[in-house]
Chains A and B, each alone.
Chain A
Amino acid sequence: MSSSSQLVFRSDIESSPPAEVSGGPGLPSEFGRIGELTIEARKDPNDIRKWESLFNELERVHAEQSATVAKKSTMELLNQLTIKGYDALLSRFPNLSEYWKKWSIFEYKLRGNKSSIEILETAVEKVPYSIELWQDYLNALVLTYEKNDDEQKRFIRYRYEKALRLNGYNFNSHPLWDRILEFENSIEEASEVSLKLYLKLVRYPLYEYARYYKQFTNIYKKFKIKDLIPEKDLNHYVSQYNQKSYETLSIIEKSQIIDDYFQKIHNNTQQEVSSKWQFESTLTFHEFSLTYMGEINAAVDNWVNYLNYEIKAFDFSSKDGYEHVVSLFERALIPNCLDGKIWLKYVAFLNKIKLAEAEKFGLIKEVYNRSINNFVPLTENDLRSFYVKFLLKSDKVEVANEYLFDLIKLFSGTKNTKVYLKSQYIVSIRDLLNIWSKALDQSEYFNTLEKLVNNYFTEQESKSRKVHNESTDVYIPLKKGRIDKVYLNTLPNLLNDDSIPVVSVLYLQELLKRKNFLGIRRFFNKHHTEEVYKSSISFWKFYVEFEGFINFNITNLNAVMKHVKTETQLPKNAVDALIDIHYDIVNANLVDLYDTHDTSLLIQKDLETSDSPVQNSSLHTRLANNNYIIREVEEGKGSRGKNSASTSNREDLILKSFKSQNGHPGIIIEARPEITNRIMNPGNWISLVKPDVPPFPVFKNVEKANMPVNYPTI
Chain B
Amino acid sequence: MSSSYRPRGGFSQRGRPRQLGSPGPSYRNNQTSTYKPSSSSPSPQSQSSTYRPQGNRNGYHQQYNNRSNNNYSNYNSSNNNNSSNNNQEPQHSLWMGDLDPQWDETTILEIWKAVDEQPTSVKIKQDKLSQKPMYCFVSFATQQEVEKAINRNGLPIPGTTKSFKLNRASGSTNVQSNSSVIKRTGTVVTPRNEFSIFIGDIDQSVTEKDLFDIFNDKYPKQIIQVRIMVDLVTRISKGFGFARFINSEVMEKALSELNGTVVGGRALRLGQAANSTISATPTAEIKTAPGIKINHHPQSQPPLNQFTDPDNTTVIVKGLDSKFTENEVVQYFISYGDIISFKMSDDLASATIEYYLRSSAESALLLLNGLLIKNRRLTVNWGNKEKSYKKRKFAPLVYNSFGATPIRFDKTKKEKVEASMSRSSKSTVNDLNSIYTTKKLARDAILNE
Q: Give residues in A with beta carbon < 8 Å to B.
A: 5-6, 413, 419-423, 497-498, 531, 534-535, 537-538, 541, 569, 571-574, 576-578, 580-581, 611, 613, 619, 623, 626-631, 658, 661, 664-667, 706-709, 711-712, 714
List residues of chain B with CB within 8 A of the CB of A423.
325, 327
**Whole-angstrom CA separation of A148 from B406 in the bound complex:** 76
B182: interface (CB < 8 Å): no
Q: Which of B154-162, B206-214, B366-374 contacts A (4 or more CB under 8 A)?
A: B366-374
Name which residue of chain B comes closest to A544, CB basis.
B447
List residues of chain A with CB within 8 A of the CB of B448.
538
**Whole-angstrom CA separation of A576 from B444 in the bound complex:** 11
A497 touching B366 by the CB < 8 A rule? no
A-B residue pairs in contact (CB < 8 Å), sample of 19 = A420-B322, A537-B449, A541-B447, A569-B373, A571-B331, A573-B334, A574-B331, A581-B443, A611-B367, A627-B372, A661-B366, A664-B308, A665-B362, A665-B365, A666-B365, A706-B262, A712-B307, A714-B381, A714-B384
Contact of B366 among A535, A538, A580, A665 (CB under 8 A): A665
Separation in Å of the A537 CB from the closest CB of chain B? 6
B305 touching A711 by the CB < 8 A rule? yes
A571 touching B370 by the CB < 8 A rule? no
List residues of chain A with CB within 8 A of the CB of B444.
577
B336 touching A574 by the CB < 8 A rule? no
B370 touching A630 by the CB < 8 A rule? yes
Separation in Å of the A530 CB from the closest CB of chain B? 12
B23: interface (CB < 8 Å): no
**Whole-angstrom CA separation of A75 from B127 in the bound complex:** 79
List residues of chain A with CB within 8 A of the CB of B267.
706
B446: interface (CB < 8 Å): yes
Separation in Å of the A333 CB from the closest CB of chain B? 26
Contact of A531 among B322, B328, B370, B375 (CB under 8 A): B375
Knowing A571-B331, A571-B332, the reply to whether A706 touches B265 (Cβ < 8 A) is yes
**Whole-angstrom CA separation of A626 from B446 in the bound complex:** 21
Separation in Å of the B42 CB from the closest CB of chain A? 58
B53: interface (CB < 8 Å): no
Contact of A569 among B334, B346, B374 (CB under 8 A): B374
B302: interface (CB < 8 Å): yes
List residues of chain A with CB within 8 A of the CB of B449.
537-538
Contact of B374 among A535, A571, A574 (CB under 8 A): A535
List residues of chain A with CB within 8 A of the CB of B305.
711
Name which residue of chain B comes closest to A423, CB basis.
B325
Name which residue of chain B comes closest to A497, CB basis.
B374
Knowing A541-B447, A571-B332, A573-B331, the reply to whether A626 touches B371 (Cβ < 8 A) is yes
Interface string of B350-383 (1 = CB under 8 A from A): 0000000000001101110111111101000110
List residues of chain A with CB within 8 A of the CB of B316.
714
Size class of B's contact patch? 35 or more
Name which residue of chain B comes closest to A626, CB basis.
B372
A611 touching B336 by the CB < 8 A rule? yes
**Whole-angstrom CA separation of A607 from B246 in the bound complex:** 58
**Whole-angstrom CA separation of A419 from B323 in the bound complex:** 11
A572 touching B336 by the CB < 8 A rule? yes
List residues of chain B with CB within 8 A of the CB of A497.
323, 374
Separation in Å of the A477 CB from the closest CB of chain B? 34
**Whole-angstrom CA separation of A181 from B120 in the bound complex:** 86
List residues of chain A with CB within 8 A of the CB of B443.
577, 580-581
Name which residue of chain B comes closest to A578, CB basis.
B447
Contact of A419 among B307, B322, B381, B406 (CB under 8 A): B322
**Whole-angstrom CA separation of A667 from B371 in the bound complex:** 17
Closest 6 CB pairs of A and B: A572-B335, A629-B370, A571-B331, A573-B335, A665-B366, A577-B443
Separation in Å of the A409 CB from the closest CB of chain B? 16
Given contacts A569-B374, A580-B443, list 6 more A-B pairs with CB under 8 A. A572-B332, A577-B446, A611-B367, A613-B366, A712-B307, A714-B384
Name which residue of chain B comes closest to A542, CB basis.
B447
B302 touching A709 by the CB < 8 A rule? yes
B307 touching A666 by the CB < 8 A rule? yes
Q: Taking each of B362, B363, B370, which has the highest tally of chain A beta carbons within 10 Å of its own beta carbon?
A: B370
List residues of chain A with CB within 8 A of the CB of B265.
706-708
**Whole-angstrom CA separation of A72 from B398 in the bound complex:** 74
**Whole-angstrom CA separation of A571 from B370 in the bound complex:** 14
List residues of chain B with CB within 8 A of the CB of A413.
322
List residues of chain A with CB within 8 A of the CB of B377.
628
Q: Taking each of B365, B374, B444, which has the highest tally of chain A beta carbons within 10 Å of its own beta carbon?
A: B374
A628 touching B366 by the CB < 8 A rule? no
List residues of chain B with CB within 8 A of the CB of A658.
366
**Whole-angstrom CA separation of A569 from B331 in the bound complex:** 12
A627 touching B370 by the CB < 8 A rule? yes
Separation in Å of the A46 CB from the closest CB of chain B? 11
Separation in Å of the B396 CB from the closest CB of chain A? 17
List residues of chain B with CB within 8 A of the CB of A708.
262, 265
**Whole-angstrom CA separation of A581 from B444 in the bound complex:** 10
List residues of chain B with CB within 8 A of the CB of A537.
446-447, 449
B405: interface (CB < 8 Å): yes
Name which residue of chain A comes closest to B334, CB basis.
A573
List residues of chain B with CB within 8 A of the CB of A664.
307-308
Separation in Å of the B326 CB from the closest CB of chain A? 8
B219: interface (CB < 8 Å): no
**Whole-angstrom CA separation of A580 from B267 in the bound complex:** 52
B366 touching A711 by the CB < 8 A rule? no
Interface string of B290-320 (1 = CB under 8 A from A): 0000000000001001011000000010000
Separation in Å of the B369 CB from the closest CB of chain A? 7
